[in-house]
Structure 1
Amino acid sequence: MEARKRTDLKSKTGGSLIGDLNRDKYLYLLALPGLLYFLVFKYVPVGGLVIAFQEYSPYFGILHSKWVGFEHYARFFSNNDFWLLLRNTMAINMLNLLFFFPLPIILALLLNELRSTVYKRAIQTIIYIPHFFSWVLIAGLTYLMLSESEGVVNKLIAAAGGQPVGFLTHADYFWGLLTAQSMWKEAGWGTIIFLAAIAGVDPQLYEAAVMDGAGRYRKMWHITLPAIRNVIVILLILRIGSVMDVGFEQVYLMMNGAVSQVADVFDTYVYRNGVQQGQFSYSTAIGLFKSIVGIVLVVAANKLAKRFGEEGVY
């Protein structure tokens, strides 16, 4: 009976791509803006990566610019700035991986334990709000709080008889400051995914655990965390894949001459060379290098996750 229904439906729609499009035209129309976005901003620009192997000139265009092969890569890897950029980029991302990545998981676990719906929603709203602040606003708030001369924190230190601390001009504080900003801005928003995953846990598992005498922490450790483990692994793999990317806007707004040795990353270097100095081919080569490293890390992390019995990204 079911086979006959499928055959009748296939005969009505023609059983072809045109038939499928005609049958689900409203669904495809709904997906059209997203498809156009990825096509225009993600796939079409891939063709421009060819200038990474050229001495690109806007006057001659891509077709007539001089081919230089891997000259830009040889220049980049032999540059002393490469190791400085690699160190700063990796250090900032490792701090984010160690401190920022687990925070949404912890917040989601704690929020899940709240019994008062009103209190839970109020806390969720409060921790979500910073996500909608621009980095310009957050940088401004940071300066108002931590400025050595006018910052609120340093005024309190001075009032207590201490000496003002150069939080914004001392290299030792810069990486930790960026990590703290990211945690405050995005941790609340990141809990959405984990709360959604926790919502799918079978309540009967908790009831059975209570019957066995398990408390809240036991239920959290033996039921909730294993239930959302796949989500954690997938997000961790994606996070590892973006280890060469640091938020350009955040770093650029917080950078100053006193901390440039610890603040300069691949993104700011590309901005200086590509946008300010017009070295389009050189900056494109650096961007392509970052993308290749990201792909390799995602594939490696995904294979490692599958080796340990996890689902992985694909």
Structure 2
Amino acid sequence: MTASRTVTPDAYANGMSDRPLTLMAVHAHPDDEATGTGGVLARYAAEGFTTIVVTCTDGRCGDGPDGVKPGEPGHDPDAVVATRRAELEASCAALKVTHLEALGYPDSGMMGWPTNEAPGSFWTTPVPEAAGRLAELIRRYQPDVVVTYDENGGYGHPDHIQVHRVTMAAVELVGSAGTAVPKVYWSTVPRSWMENIGEHMRELGIEWDEPEPVDAPPMGMPDEQITAWVDVTAFTDQKYDALAAHGSQSDGAFFLNLGRERFGQLMGTETFVRVRDTTGAPTQEDDLFTGLR
């Protein structure tokens, strides 16, 4: 493990860093890296930056063969773990990710599932324990930018909520020891996009029936709270390939069925909320590394 060090914003501004700029994306399950951050991972890898994906759970509560769900006949959690690990590696290869780190906590399943409280599940893991492990990775790789989820984990999934808690705790832990992360973002989608998704689909020539309202916090954030709108249009093919690598899971099927052209039109921008900054960069950004280069 490399020794920790403190790098000031002035050092970055003056080009004094002795290594490539580094992005770390902290996710819950195999396939999460593709949907919300596949574009920025591919873009910054192409620019010569170091990119790191940290996947916190093993994905054992995902689909088994032919879409069989946990608890149903034919669902073998250990086999699902092996499949999803191979898919994660293929996805990261498509995105040219430099380093993949898997913490290996058991997937907790959707909110309210019995697996939430299974011994050792990520949801039941004490935040300081997991944060300590992530802090070690932050010290090792010294990322300039860390990306994770908001307090609601994007859509209320327990593992996503736990990733948020663990990541923010880890950032504070390394910061208190003198190894501050210059910039931290939460991955999100504009609330307006979610509200107008039917219109987006119809513009792409896709039939769309508005879903019934559900009793859950709305997805995404108000547009005015989003601070970074990053153009990843040139990398949507890689993002598509990364999502396609997770072929055992039904979650991405809808987006893959759009085809590459429509997928690219819909997924050409990734959006984030900046929640930590030591660089003095402007609030509105089109680059997660503004103020660092």
Same fold, judged at TM 0.5 (above) = no
* TM-score bracket for this pair, using the shorter chain length: under 0.3
Which structure's residues are more often helix, by fraction?
1
Structure ranking higher in strand proportion: 2
- Normalized against structure 2, the TM-score is what? 0.25
